[in-house]
Amino acid sequence: MNTARLSIVIVACAGLAACGHAGAEHATSSRPAPTAAAAATSAAASKPAAKSTVGIPAIPGGPTGPAHDPSTRPGVAAPARLVVSSIGIDAAVESVGLLGDGTLQPPSDWGIAGWYADGVRPGDPGPAVIEGHVDSRNGPAVFYRLRDLKVGATMLVHTTAGTTLRFVVDTVREYPKTKFPTAAVYGPTPLPVLRLVTCTGEFDWQARSYLDNLVVSARMV
């Protein structure tokens, strides 16, 4: 890779504290139809859904990347908005922290993305993390179509200072939550890396959680 370029990685829901509701409706025909197990629990599913308790894995060994030290930050502003036109994402970005178990606090709204404000800022060296819900009992949420992102697609991060960071997608990958590549996702990087997180894969109706996460990687251009 040309070191003059910066890179960005988008992680789709391998472990979001509330990737989506476990409601009876998963919004569009592109989602797999409920299985026999889901049908057997339809009575329970018709009740108000509870949020998943499976969160983004805790950061291994504490914060990673040089940008966790505020004194080393080159002054990149915080993210304010994420735009991925090819899949219809144009969402505000709010700051989130960690829950008591070390997992990321979910965004406050289905249509808003959440940036881990105690970590790396997009555009700084190290792995920045932005999460988003995949769906809710009322329909698709902010990162519902993240799985449809294609290699070569353009993404924009608008900052609070009015600057715009541009990225091009390199890879789109899925991982089981039980085998989430925590070290690879959170490990220090010499260039700025962004990780967008949301859920994907089959839905576990008993646990009220998706089984997989999606990771999209992109480079800054």
> What are the structural domains of the chain?
6-23+76-220 (2.40.260.10)
State the pLDDT at residue 17: 46
The C-alpha atoms of residue 143 and residue 31 are separated, in whole angstroms, by 14
pLDDT of 82 reads 96
Q: How far is CA 118 from CA 59, 68, 70, 72, 123, in A?
A: 11, 7, 10, 14, 15
Angstrom distance (rounded) from CA 108 to CA 94: 8
Residue that is written with structure tokens 């797999």 in the block = 32
d(CA 169, CA 99): 30
The whole-chain average pLDDT of the chain stands at 72
Taking only the tens place, the pLDDT of each residue in 37-85 is 333 333 333 333 333 334 566 555 554 544 455 455 556 899 999 999 9
In the predicted model, is pLDDT for residue 155 greater than 60?
A: yes
Residue 194's Cβ-side half-sphere holds a number of Cα atoms within 13 Å equal to 29
Share of residues in the chain with pLDDT > 90 (%):
23
**pTM for the predicted model, two decimal places:** 0.71
**What is the C-alpha to C-alpha distance for residues 185 and 175, in angstroms, rounded to an integer?**
11
Task: Check whether 102 has a pLDDT greater than 90.
Answer: no
> What does the longest C-alpha to C-alpha distance in the chain come to?
56
Determine which of 20-34, 88-102, 104-118, 137-151 has the lowest per-residue pLDDT on average. Answer: 20-34
For residue range 174-202, what is the model confidence (pLDDT) as tens digits? 888 888 777 777 777 777 778 887 888 99
* The pLDDT value given to residue 36: 41
In the predicted structure, residue 16 carries a pLDDT above the cut 80: no
Q: DSSP letters along 88-139, please?
A: TEEEEEEEE-B-TTSSBPPPSSTT-EEEETTSPPTTSSEEEEEE---EETTE
DSSP, res 20: B
